[in-house]
Structure 1
Amino acid sequence: MVLEQDITVDEILKTLYDKSKALVQLLQSYEKRKEDRSAFIEEIQTLLDEREVFIKRLQAFDRVAFNEHDELKKQLLELEPEITGQLQRVFHDIQRGRRLIKAKQQTRQRYQNPYANMHQDGAFLDKRK
């Protein structure tokens, strides 16, 4: 993504807000798009990377120019908890899916080779006298 050198704080904040809003909408559509997780994750990563570029651009401006835009800052800050919560929900769902796949693989492996994990020591202690 190419950024113009003479971009203003207002333009950066508006673009950042638009990217954040698009990210929220994308994250809310997760339940409908679960089947194609890899494409979904790529889209999330793209939007997060684009937002990061604009956030870094914002950090280059001085506080005076930044403090003039209270309404946009407020709207952005209101979106952040929702973005964080939605990202955590998606992350936990992906983790749960990975654990389920791993458990299925282990079950299949145990079924195919039930004697693979048996101990070979051959010792038996009889407690009778």
Structure 2
Amino acid sequence: MAITFTWRGGFDNSEVEHLHAAGFDREPSAHDWRAQVDRHSLGWVNARDGDRLVGWVNVAWDGSGHAFVLDTVVAADARRHGVGTGLITEAARQAGAAGCEWLHVDFEEHLRGFYFEACGFRPTAAGLIALPSA
């Protein structure tokens, strides 16, 4: 596997959506990833094995010192090959280059080892409110 990581690289909505649908065990939709990242993100990182998108992460931000890792996903057959760590490493590097002081992440408990041990995040106090659907 020869993985290349690209900051703000080109992508097709369909390839990101299919990667997410498989990674998060849901049916693909017509979600417009390009509009989302163009409107709200500092950038994103593509991980490709040749032409195939095998990993992707969105880096949202507050326009100042805080960046946020969202939507991290790696294709099932590319996991445990350093793709996820590479995505986060490049996201952190680029957020720092943009002047951000902090990179935040929320995750499910089973990903604790990945984010804390493999990627170097540290635990912090945080809060969460589930909002009702409109």
TM-score (norm 1): 0.27
Structure with the largest fraction of strand: 2
Of the two structures, which has the highest relative contact order with CA contacts closer than 8 Å and spacing of 6 or more? 1
TM-score (norm 2): 0.27
Structure with the largest fraction of helix: 1
Larger radius of gyration: 1
